[in-house]
Amino acid sequence: MLKVKLFQTIPNPLQLNIECIPGELHALVGPSGSGKTTALRTIAGLNDAHTGKIECNDQLWFEANEISGVSTSLSPAERSCGFLFQQYALFPHLTALENVCIPLYNSVPRLGDRKKLAQQWLERMGIGELANRMPNQLSGGQQQRVALARALARSPKILLLDEPFSAIDAPTRQGLYKTLAELRKDLNIPILLVTHDLREADLLADRITVIDQGVGLQTAPPQVLFERPRNSRVAELVGISNKFEGIFSSGKLIWDGCERVFDVIDKGKIPPNTPVAWVIPAEGLSLHAEASKLTMQASVEHISALGQIAVIQLRTVDGNHVITWEASAAEVKRLGLESGKVTHLEMNGSKIHIMPLRPINDPRRFSN
């Protein structure tokens, strides 16, 4: 198991507390410059934190505190990390096979044994026939597979992936997703993935940590993260479109500017009459052709067709709020939806998730 608890103030802030068990893929997501790559480099030993602790398989890799400073800091070689860089970092003057041999020099003395093991990893990546090609003779996806083979060649204790799929086309990316999924079963080591693509994190990761300005804001499985973000900043960063504000008091939510009051789950953590942010997932929304006591009027402002899926932008008559709803093309046709038409929106209060309302420059947004 990998355990990371870091606090760093210079040169780049980093406050992170994560665990990753063998076989788990843990994604780090956040905006550019948020500290995702800094976190990987610190775990690998390429950066030092100000204070904190890094452990892997009960071996202490790094420890430092305010009083005594750094007491333990293993070198990158001693930490045994497989690191896959965003730009591959292949040696341009070496063949694919020779690149994979590089990390084996200290652990496998005989050249013939190194080449044999490197060839096996290239075969495992599905590119064994490309062993004698130079990097400039390989496609982006092939270079990525060589780099992955090199990262895994010496059987590392953890695998660190720094936006490994960002520079390759969609079909190639899908093939690498499959390769990574197969490797996870066999390697049984912690895998940390840095990505800016939330869909990718949702597809691949068992858990996701959202990082903003060097601070880990929330760690959760993808479904929990997207449905129940910890605070409004997390909701913003994970791209939840239906995020609003209101006043919450003892299980009652008043939507700003609306007469509507929703009955929502009260966990007893928010004082009465507190301004809050709130979100509602897609399954909490439905449209109806006829009005009822559960619906509110909304006009259709825009419909974007994406194949068999349509994204509908609605504006409520009460409160003038914009809501995004997704539906199949068949559902749009059944309801007769078109721009300018007034329809009837139902919002399921039991699906509403309430969060603390924190402005972007309020440090309290990092807390619950």
Confidence of residue 358 (pLDDT cuts 50, 70, 90): low
| Beta pairing class for 191-194 and 25-29 | parallel
User: How distant, in Å, are the alpha carbons of 266, 268, 349, 354 from that of 249?
Assistant: 9, 10, 14, 11
CATH number of the domain residue 351 falls in: 2.40.50.100
Q: How far is CA 350 from the centre of its chain?
A: 26
Residue 157 above 80 pLDDT?
Answer: yes
CATH number of the domain residue 119 falls in: 3.40.50.300
Confidence of residue 11 (pLDDT cuts 50, 70, 90): low
Are 142 and 106 part of one and the same domain? yes
Are 123 and 259 part of one and the same domain? no
Per residue in 81-114, pLDDT tens? 999 988 878 999 999 999 999 999 888 889 999 9
Within a domain: 34: yes
CA separation for the pair 310, 331 (Å, rounded): 9
0.75 exceeded by pTM: yes
Within a domain: 232: no
Q: Is 276 helix (H, G, I), strand (E, B) or coil?
A: strand
Residue 322 above 80 pLDDT?
Answer: yes
Are 288 and 192 part of one and the same domain? no
Are 312 and 173 part of one and the same domain? no
Within a domain: 284: yes
Are 194 and 276 part of one and the same domain? no
Within a domain: 365: no
Are 41 and 182 part of one and the same domain? yes
**Among 193, 227, 261, where does a domain finish?**
227
Are 149 and 269 part of one and the same domain? no
Give residue 250's pLDDT. 85
Give residue 9's pLDDT. 60
Are 142 and 255 part of one and the same domain? no
Residue 368 above 70 pLDDT?
Answer: no
Give residue 365's pLDDT. 43
CA separation for the pair 252, 285 (Å, rounded): 18
Note whether 274 and 249 are within 8 A (CB): yes
Domain assignment of residue 183, given as a range: 2-227
Within a domain: 364: no
Residue 326 above 90 pLDDT?
Answer: no
User: How many domains does the chain fold into?
Assistant: 2
